Amino acid sequence: MKRFLPLLLLILTLSCEHRRTEPPRESRSLSDDLGNPVPIAEPPTRIVSLAPNITEILFALGLEREIVGVTEYCNVPTAAQAKPRIGGLMNPNIERIVESHPDLVVMSTSGNMRTDYDKLTGLGLRVFVTNPQTIEGIFKSIHDLGTLTGREPVADFLVSSLEDKKRILLKRYEHHRPRRVLFLLSLNPIIVVGEGAFLQELLELARGENIARGSSTPYPQLSREEIFNRKPEVVLATHDVAGSVDHILSAYPEWKSLPAVQSHNVVLLDADLVTRPGPRIIEALEVILHAIHGEGE
């Protein structure tokens, strides 16, 4: 027994050193996208999501059981529709949120209000704010929520899978020529995707030349004449903007001579898919690539 004593003491010493160099989970924190530190406590068991893209990320991380509240707009995946509703993005029911006894509330700067953030933190709730504006930002949000919820390995695997799919997808379309694209967000007034918008990155990756590129705002308003003169080869819009191609052309009949219309390249897209910065973002990229170029190589 004596000959094993030094080895036993060494193991105990290394174990103590390991515990000293790695702080307990409760003493760690993670800065959210407002720059505020949020404590990383034990993995939360009651989570409230205040945005559809956040709900999708939480489900993708395998946190269905932990979600105890979502907004009325959280419809993906299907299981999210069975979760308790806490109101809208801009008008959540604070009382209902508190009654759900969450140990984590996740908000977005896109849609949620700062006043609601102040109310929730003022009540002592742990609130994390995420603000993904790019694909890398989405990946960061997935990593952040994985860290907060003790799902780091799941988050790492999910992001790695999305990066692989993105690389393979872009490889398929790398030889397609760029095409002039108009992405409509509103018909009256005419508001389009511009410089700095989240969707601008998807258009660029999809080898689309946005006719509103270089605009001074992310969502500029264009005149019908400007669009006519810029002659887009592809027109994209979401179903909530236009119910059909005829709907667009009845509003602006002169657009019938646009190259996009003449070549039947006016495509209506699922708004819930292409406008949400969440785990389906590469699926959205694929839809936009196909809308602009057709089938890849």
Mean pLDDT within 93-106: 97
Whether 1 maps to a domain, the answer reads no
Residue 223 pLDDT greater than 50, yes or no? yes
- CA separation for the pair 281, 158 (Å, rounded): 12
| Burial of 4 (C-beta count, 10 Å sphere; 0-12/13-18/19+) | exposed
107, 128 in Cβ contact below 8 A?
yes
Which residues on neighbouring strands pair with residue 184, listed in sequence order? 192, 237
202 and 139 in a single domain? The answer is no
41 and 146 in a single domain? The answer is yes
**End-of-domain residue from the set 130, 165, 200:** 165
For residue range 126-160, what is the model confidence (pLDDT) as tens digits? 999 999 999 999 999 999 999 999 999 999 999 99
- CA separation for the pair 200, 235 (Å, rounded): 14
191 and 279 in a single domain? The answer is yes
110 and 179 in a single domain? The answer is no
For residue range 59-76, what is the model confidence (pLDDT) as tens digits? 999 999 999 999 999 999
Vertex 181, ends 273 and 235: CA angle to 5°?
Answer: 65
Residue 22 pLDDT greater than 80, yes or no? no
Supply the pLDDT for residue 27: 65
Supply the pLDDT for residue 12: 42
Whether 14 maps to a domain, the answer reads no
For residue range 147-198, what is the model confidence (pLDDT) as tens digits? 999 999 999 999 999 999 999 999 999 999 999 999 999 999 999 999 989 8
Whether 74 maps to a domain, the answer reads yes
69 and 105 in a single domain? The answer is yes
The residue among 182, 146, 170 whose CA lies nearest residue 66 is 146
Query: Considering its fold, how many domains does the chain have in total?
Result: 2
232, 204 in Cβ contact below 8 A?
no
29 and 148 in a single domain? The answer is yes
**End-of-domain residue from the set 165, 196, 215:** 165
The residue among 158, 223, 151 whose CA lies nearest residue 187 is 223
Residue 86 belongs to a domain with what CATH number?
3.40.50.1980
Vertex 100, ends 147 and 271: CA angle to 5°?
Answer: 65
29 and 156 in a single domain? The answer is yes
Supply the pLDDT for residue 48: 98
- CA separation for the pair 147, 210 (Å, rounded): 36
190 and 131 in a single domain? The answer is no
Cβ-based neighbour number of residue 40 at 10 Å: 18
Pairwise pLDDT comparison (33 vs 110), residue with the higher score: 33
Residues 88-114 as b or e (16 or more Cβ within 10 Å = b): ebeebebeebbebebbbbbbbbbbbee
**End-of-domain residue from the set 112, 141, 165:** 165
180 and 153 in a single domain? The answer is no
Q: Please report which confidence band the pLDDT of residue 295 belongs to, taking 50, 70 and 90 as the band edges.
A: confident
Whether 8 maps to a domain, the answer reads no
Measure CA of the first residue to CA of the last residue in the chain; give whole Å. Answer: 70
Whether 3 maps to a domain, the answer reads no
Pairwise pLDDT comparison (27 vs 86), residue with the higher score: 86
- CA separation for the pair 18, 14 (Å, rounded): 6
202, 284 in Cβ contact below 8 A?
yes
113 and 222 in a single domain? The answer is no
Q: What percent of the chain has pLDDT over 90?
A: 86
Whether 2 maps to a domain, the answer reads no
- CA separation for the pair 220, 214 (Å, rounded): 10
86 and 143 in a single domain? The answer is yes
Whether 234 maps to a domain, the answer reads yes
What secondary structure does DSSP assign to 11-27, as a single string? HHHHHHHHHHHS--GGG
33 and 154 in a single domain? The answer is yes
Q: Which two tokens stand for residue 292?
A: 């602009």
Supply the pLDDT for residue 6: 44
For residue range 225-260, what is the model confidence (pLDDT) as tens digits? 999 999 999 999 999 999 999 999 999 999 999 999
Whether 244 maps to a domain, the answer reads yes
Instruction: State which residues form the domain around 261.
Output: 174-293
